Amino acid sequence: MRRKVIAGNWKMNMLPNEAIDFVNNLAPLVKNSENEVIICVPFTDLFYTLLTVQETNIHVGAQNMHWEEKGAYTGEVSAEMLKSINVEYVIIGHSERRQYFNETDETVNLKVKSALKHGLKPIICVGETLEQKEQGKTLEVITSQISRALQDLTLDDISNIIVAYEPIWAIGTGKTASSDDANESIKAIRNQIEKEFGTNDVTILYGGSVNAENAKELFTMSDIDGGLVGGASLNAEKFSKIVNFE
């Protein structure tokens, strides 16, 4: 379902005591927001964060998971494990995982299916490299990535996903896609989903150097439903300004 969502991605930052302080600081600042607020935290912060967000309107997500149910996969965490402690969301296919941990469209698809099977809502990331952008291949790359990520899903599944369009060259660089370019890319993703599943009612976020200054312009574009925010999600006050962008 299309709705305004602002999701923080802490990446490999924040110890449990910092996570608890963050939530206690953020909660009063966003309590009147009509936008959905999600923080995606490291595995070691999940339990503490989930306890601290009780009685608030803050939702919690993980940043990765394995697609297998259980077994000899040292160091991995399954969808069922996340669900068992009441995690609601999970980021899948972030470009840093594709780049540093060899994630492919195929493993992204396996993870998306396992997340949905266990009742987690995946936040599925797609985005082009600078080289692909310069070659004019952005729309081709991102529509193919989303198509492969969603392979074998049902229409029902589509109502439980969020997509994040994150141009790789914009992540952590201070360079944001122009609101028109981001909107065009997101529209292309939406059209692709409509072509394959017969619905365009999907929440699609923009990510890549979102901050309190550029959030409003981006998030009020026709096809952009909010943001996936990295660096600027580590400070509760800054993040609250993005959540309350209106």
Any contact of residue 93 with ligand PGA (CB under 6 A)?
A: no
Its sign, for the CA torsion 50, 92, 125, 1, is: negative
How many angstroms separate the CA atoms of 87 and 194, rounded?
Answer: 28
Cα-flanking dihedrals φ and ψ of residue 151, to 5°? -55, 135
Q: Which of 128, 163, 231, 239 binds ligand PGA (CB under 6 A)?
A: 231
Determine what percent of the chain falls in helix, strand and coil, rounding each to the nearest 5: 45, 15, 40
Nearer Cβ to ligand PGA, position 48 or 206? 206
166 is annotated as an active-site residue: yes
Decide if residue 166 touches ligand PGA (CB under 6 A): yes
Q: Which of 96, 103, 128, 166 is catalytic?
A: 166
Does 189 engage in binding with ligand PGA (CB under 6 A)? no
Stretch that binds ligand PGA, among 48-56, 137-145, 148-156, 225-233 (CB under 6 A): 225-233
By the rule CB under 6 A, 61 interacts with ligand PGA: no
Among 228, 236, 242, 243, binds ligand PGA (CB under 6 A): 228
| Residue 55 annotated among the catalytic residues of the structure | no
Helix (H) or strand (E) holding 189: helix 179-197
* Termini Cα distance of the chain: 21
Is residue 229 part of the contact set for ligand PGA (CB under 6 A)?
Answer: yes
Amino acid sitting at position 73: Y
Given a contact cutoff of 8 angstroms between Cβ atoms, the answer to whether 87 and 115 are in contact is no
Q: Which of 59, 66, 94, 118 is catalytic?
A: 94
Q: Which residues make up the interface to ligand PGA (CB under 6 A)? A: 9, 166, 171-172, 207-210, 228-232
